[in-house]
Structure 1
Amino acid sequence: MAVSVTVNGAGHTLEVEARTTLLDALRERLGLTGTKKGCDHGQCGACTVLVDGARVLSCLTLLVMRDGSQITTIEGLAAADGDLHPMQRAFVECDGLQCGFCTSGQIMSAVGLLAEGVPDDDGALKEAMGGNLCRCGAYPNIVTAIRRAAGRDSR
């Protein structure tokens, strides 16, 4: 099947099998390996990308379902001159990462959350980010980074 998508601002038409996931197309066909394959069951969030501005688990999404969509991956967040997206910068400043495996999914989910509206309550923010797991336990710093990027950091 032919599928046309725009990924990080560039148009692509891919011939794929109907069972090809968005995650596999990004990593194997387009060479965008920043999106991680964690559990491959939609339980860890490492594969989170934005599709038409919404948070999507790319391991559970068939590429053919996204024909015509605008897709943003971690590689597409920074400006062309290398200037980091405010969320990327906040994760660095707040030490919102440790091993880094989950970081791209955490950042993409957090960027999507900014568009949705970051909850005022930390409990609600943690619930909204609940689909993204961090085995290293950087959660307090991730919450601080999201608050900073949203302009709500009290530190």
Structure 2
Amino acid sequence: MSAVISPAAHRTSHWLRRAAAALAVAAAGLHAASLGEHATSSPMLGLVTVAMIFGCLYCARHLWMRGSHRDWGLVALMNVGMIALHVTVMSPGSGGGGHHGHAMHAAASAPMGHSMSAPMAAALATAALEAVVAVTVLFYKTRFDAREVLD
């Protein structure tokens, strides 16, 4: 039995794909903004940052064009991985001492005794939002597919 997707569901899917693609482009912009700092501290880190810029743009293109299960899964995986990596590297006692080995500046108002730069906070918030959107879309898309198989 084939399922018929309502026009409202199609518009919602289209809107979510485009919004997620815009978030991925924003993430690429945030990576590009940090490229100079990263390349200066370590050429390898600069190369990884360039790879992340291309990765963000790759996902943005695929989400804009079609938004398959694979595309959404890749977006979720990359964003959760990015959050885990940055939180681990930035945590006190990790040996990193801050973002990618840069010294963290103590902030009296920060609850853990360190502050996060505005671009880093924006990058983590963008990644968290992208991950939530991607996991939500995957949940509903696979749920719809499972109902179609059961019918």
Question: TM-score under structure 2 normalisation?
Answer: 0.26
Higher normalized strand content (fraction of residues):
1
Higher normalized helix content (fraction of residues):
2
